Structure 1
Amino acid sequence: MASQIELDRYYEFVMKLTMESAKVIRDAFQGGKNIETKAGDWDLVTQYDRKVEEILIAGLAKEFPNHKFIGEETVSSNNFLPPLTDAPTWIIDPIDGTTNFVHSFPHTCISIALAINKQLELGIVYNPILEQMFTARRGRGAFLNGKPIVSSNVQELGSSLVCIEASYATIPEIRDVILGRLEAFVSIAHGIRTLGSAALTLCHVAMGAAEAYHTDNLMPWDVAAGVLIIREAGGVVIDTSGGEFNVMNPKVLAVGNHKLAQELVKLIKHADNKTQQKRLAAMQ
């Protein structure tokens, strides 16, 4: 187990590194970017994603040579997702919301989490364009620019602002599932939002600006920091099915409180049943 003194040191060092690497994003935000695709047309990467990740991993590896890393660009280039072990492991998304970044849409951020003994210990989500610094340490609460944040206690779906990542509907195999769930949310919720950055959307739930966020098609680096920030803000993160959340296979249902979380689990199951019935009918 890491001592509080060690955790303080990790936190202070990574905060400095975050601010340093954020300059890359800020300086490049309005300029031209070399763009490539990864998993599909909706999954973009720029030279800046790689540059930010290099700064973060090189800095952390030099300071903490025994630590491990799960970084988006490193995993993408190796085509291999390493397992999460008990060793101190930094889970890094250098630019979450790359499509937003490419379009100069200001919802883009750096997301960094540290897990020790497979438990999330610290989380940082920093939007250098809007200068929003979300932070959390296990057992110490969650903060936006140093001020405590608390998740929403709204318990009625009809009064809730719900965030969903609709862009995954571009993937043919899961389009009907995504649109079925979206239709279910639209017909009941107070409003629907799609921000294009999982890490920042999780932080919006943590600060009570939205009641819930749901998406199934993410990777550990998209969510690790935001999950800790929500939990430290008093919110709930569970698996879409209602079970325990697995950061290495994240099917995300992030909600301000337990009661609303259970309502959403029921709604998603109902929507998926309708989608399944439509699929069966189409086959007959």
Structure 2
Amino acid sequence: MADPWQRAYDFAVEVARKAGEEVRKAGESEIKIMTKSSTVDLVTKTDERVEKIIIGSLKEEFGPDAHCFIGEESVAKGEACILTDKPTWIIDPVDGTTNFVHGFPFVAVSIAFAVNKELEFGVVYSCLEDKMYKARKGKGAFCNDEKIEVSDVTAINKSIIISEHGTDRSPEKVNKIFSTMQKILCIPVHGLRGSGTAATNMCLVATGAVEAFFEIGIHCWDIAAGAVIVKEAGGVLLDVDGGPFDLMSRRMVSANNEVIAKRIIKEIEIFPAVRDDAPVQKQ
């Protein structure tokens, strides 16, 4: 029986590389001449341009109505963020926008594909590093075509944990985030890190460079591709309360194994995050 999604997977890799080249070009040629006051505008224009490249390429290849799309910029403009049973692309055109503005070398294009609400494959192109991470359900995970696997560490005090402080600067949430980090650091662990991009963080778990990544407040387009890559590299995905991973919940722990994941979960101070698929509140 013919594989129905291999063509889509192969094309996603091509599109991610094409989009990454556009991100790289914008970083090299445009950011250097921008003043601080105009960097936000540059990020918005680059995000929108790259998302149009990705979605336009996919529609041209597979037909304008063959698949559904959830994209960061599309949702920002008011489109619904609902995952149905239909074949759906979940896209983050520039994951790590603050890194992008500053030239910090972790910026990723993230493209995932879901059918019947199940993630089929994910592609993360860390475009400044020129690293192409990819995985298909049941077929393993790869970086630049080399197979990758999570680490075999089970002792939390021999682990590196990765997380982010997010974009919400409300004191209540910041206090919970840093209280959690302090408790994890004092377990103790070997260290805490953060690359500034959720997609890259998950790929670092998949390669065994770190043992776990957790965050509250991320979006489905930040982690959908990475979720496939972590799982296919032998890792686990859980909710921050220890329950099943829910792509739309905006909260997640990804780890090399359940031992590490559940030890971290004991220390996480949970705070509310509005689900990605929550009804949009009318003004």
- Asked if these proteins are the same fold (TM beyond 0.5), I'd say yes
In the TM superposition, 1:1-284 aligns within 5 A as 4-33=2-31, 34-36=38-40, 45-64=43-62, 65-78=65-78, 80-168=79-167, 170-187=169-186, 188-268=188-268
* Contact 1:237 1:255 (C-alpha < 8 Å) held by counterparts: yes
Distance 1:4 1:97 in 2: 37
TM-score by length of 2: 0.88
Distance 1:121 1:48 in 2: 27
Runs of at least 5 residues in structure 1 that lack an aligned partner in the other structure: 38-43, 274-284
Distance 1:231 1:137 in 2: 10
Deviation at 1:252, TM superposition (A): 1.1
* Contact 2:141 2:148 (C-alpha < 8 Å) held by counterparts: yes
Deviation at 1:81, TM superposition (A): 3.5
Deviation at 1:198, TM superposition (A): 0.2
Distance 1:55 1:97 in 2: 18
Spell out, residue by residue over 1:220-255, the C-alpha distance to the aligned partner (whole angstroms, 9 max, x if none). Answer: 000000011000000011000000111112311111
Spell out, residue by residue over 1:4-27, the C-alpha distance to the aligned partner (whole angstroms, 9 max, x if none). Answer: 532111112222222222221121
Distance 1:240 1:70 in 2: 24
- 1:75 to 1:227, Cα distance in 2 relative to 1, 3 A: same
* Contact 2:240 2:270 (C-alpha < 8 Å) held by counterparts: no
Spell out, residue by residue over 1:132-168, the C-alpha distance to the aligned partner (whole angstroms, 9 max, x if none). Answer: 0000000000000001100112111111100110244
- Runs of 4+ in structure 1 deviating by more than 6 angstroms, as ranges, are none
Q: Secondary structure at the match of 2:21?
A: helix
* Contact 2:165 2:174 (C-alpha < 8 Å) held by counterparts: no
Whichever residue aligns with residue 181 of structure 1, its letter is T
Q: Structure 1 residues 180-189 or 216-225, which shifts more?
A: 180-189
Distance 1:145 1:171 in 2: 39
Distance 2:169 2:81 in 1: 27
Q: Secondary structure at the match of 1:243?
A: coil
Distance 2:170 2:123 in 1: 30
User: Percent identity among equivalent residues?
Assistant: 39
TM-score by length of 1: 0.87
Q: Structure 1 residues 45-54 or 220-229, which shifts more?
A: 45-54
Distance 2:116 2:158 in 1: 38
Deviation at 1:272, TM superposition (A): 6.0
Whichever residue aligns with residue 11 of structure 2, its letter is F
Runs of at least 5 residues in structure 2 that lack an aligned partner in the other structure: 32-37, 272-283
Whichever residue aligns with residue 35 of structure 1, its letter is T
* Contact 1:25 1:48 (C-alpha < 8 Å) held by counterparts: yes
RMSD across aligned C-alpha pairs, in angstroms?
Answer: 1.8
Match of 2:35 in 1: none
Q: Which has the higher helix share?
A: 1
Q: Secondary structure at the match of 1:213?
A: strand
Q: How many residues align?
A: 262
Distance 1:118 1:82 in 2: 13
* Contact 2:238 2:245 (C-alpha < 8 Å) held by counterparts: yes
Distance 2:61 2:224 in 1: 22
Match of 1:278 in 2: none
Whichever residue aligns with residue 178 of structure 2, its letter is L
Deviation at 1:111, TM superposition (A): 0.2
Deviation at 1:46, TM superposition (A): 3.0
